[in-house]
């Protein structure tokens, strides 16, 4: 018998994420014939709660990353272990900044488009939520550009000519979610991005800063999109809002969170598996000049041209 304060969403084929108000979260296989499998195979219809909705959303992210990591471990062998053990690296950080620019630049436009759809169908509470998120995200791509410029790089030229392979599917799915006739899934993508960012601790920012020459500030975007920024409060606000939605909307948001998390996990693996030589070649092609030909601070030049690893 399903407990009345239990939420669940069928996801990933024959798996349901089950979350209770007590805080318990588990993944239930739906292939069996037991009563619970039959119950969780149906669509939930009840109300949400802060704790159980949090369990669903975070469970979707956790499941997606666990499945992706397991798949790469099974087929990757030593490479998968190498990716998992990578430490801070300035070249890879720059590559990540280029990707961050692209995920940030269209966020306000996408969310406002989704908000307009909900305004047209008389859902003012969703419209207000999405408009608030769009305002909060406006201009964040400029932080990534400032960071790239601070490192002596031709930022505008690079981002105009390079979209990292792991980032493009994320940009595409976010746009698809937001441009639907009923774009409630846009909230799932937004939650996935902000929740993962909110998990980044100060130590991660300090590790990147330690790679930079004294006096160079190139962690603006990272600080803003970490546990040091506003992401934690955004996550809390989103959970509260999603918990207030009808069951069908919550199901769609959780499923979108899972789908976006799969792509994010896949992109992380893809980009981490690229060699430094490959990343350097992509950046140089986008910049239109060899990195050693740029007027870079000496420690940055050493890291980017391969003099130091």
The predicted pLDDT at position 38 comes to: 66
Helix (H) or strand (E) segment spanning residue 272: helix 247-272
Position 217 in a domain = yes
Domains identified in the chain, total number: 1
Position 252 in a domain = yes
Position 228 in a domain = yes
- In terms of residue numbers, what domain contains 212? 87-304
Q: What's the whole-model pTM score? A: 0.91
SS (H, E, C) 149-199: HHCCCCHHHHHHHCCCCCCHHHHHHHHHHHCCCCCCHHHHHHHHHHHHHHC
Distance CA 173, CA 81 (A): 29
Position 4 in a domain = no
Distance CA 227, CA 206 (A): 13
Position 18 in a domain = no
- pLDDT tens-digit map of 131-176: 999 999 999 999 999 999 999 999 999 999 999 999 999 999 999 9
Distance CA 109, CA 87 (A): 34
Position 81 in a domain = no
Query: CATH number, domain at 252?
Result: 1.20.910.10
Position 93 in a domain = yes
All residue ranges of the chain with pLDDT < 50 are 1, 77-80, 83-84, 308-309
Position 203 in a domain = yes
The predicted pLDDT at position 112 comes to: 97
Residue with token string 């130091």: 308
């Amino acid at each position: 018998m399903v407990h009345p304060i239990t939420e669940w969403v069928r996801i990933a084929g024959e798996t349901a994420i089950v979350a209770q108000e007590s805080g318990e979260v588990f993944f239930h296989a739906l292939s069996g014939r037991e009563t619970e499998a039959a119950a969780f195979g149906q669509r939930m219809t009840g109300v949400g709660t802060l704790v159980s909705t949090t369990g669903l959303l975070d469970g979707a992210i956790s499941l997606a990353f666990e499945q992706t990591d397991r798949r790469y471990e099974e087929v990757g062998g030593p490479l998968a272990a190498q990716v998992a053990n990578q430490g801070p690296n300035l070249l890879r950080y720059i590559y990540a900044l280029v990707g961050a620019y692209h995920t940030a630049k269209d966020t306000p436009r996408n969310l406002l488009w989704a908000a307009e759809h909900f305004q047209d169908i008389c859902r003012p509470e969703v419209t207000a939520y999405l408009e608030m998120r769009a305002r909060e995200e406006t201009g964040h791509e400029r932080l990534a550009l400032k960071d790239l410029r601070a490192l002596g790089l031709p930022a505008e030229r690079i981002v105009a000519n390079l979209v990292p392979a792991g980032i493009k599917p994320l940009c595409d799915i976010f746009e698809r979610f937001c441009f639907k006739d009923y774009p409630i899934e846009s909230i799932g993508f937004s939650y996935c991005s902000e929740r993962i960012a909110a998990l980044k601790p100060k130590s991660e920012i300090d590790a990147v800063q330690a790679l930079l020459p004294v006096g160079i500030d190139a962690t603006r975007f990272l600080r803003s999109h970490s546990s040091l920024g506003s992401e934690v409060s955004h996550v809390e606000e989103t959970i509260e809002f999603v918990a207030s939605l009808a069951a069908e909307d919550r199901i769609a948001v959780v499923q979108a969170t899972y789908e976006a998390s799969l792509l994010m996990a896949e992109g992380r693996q893809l980009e981490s598996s690229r060699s430094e030589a490959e990343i350097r070649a992509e950046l140089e092609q986008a910049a239109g000049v060899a990195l050693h030909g740029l007027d870079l601070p000496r420690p940055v030049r050493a890291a980017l041209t391969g003099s130091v690893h």
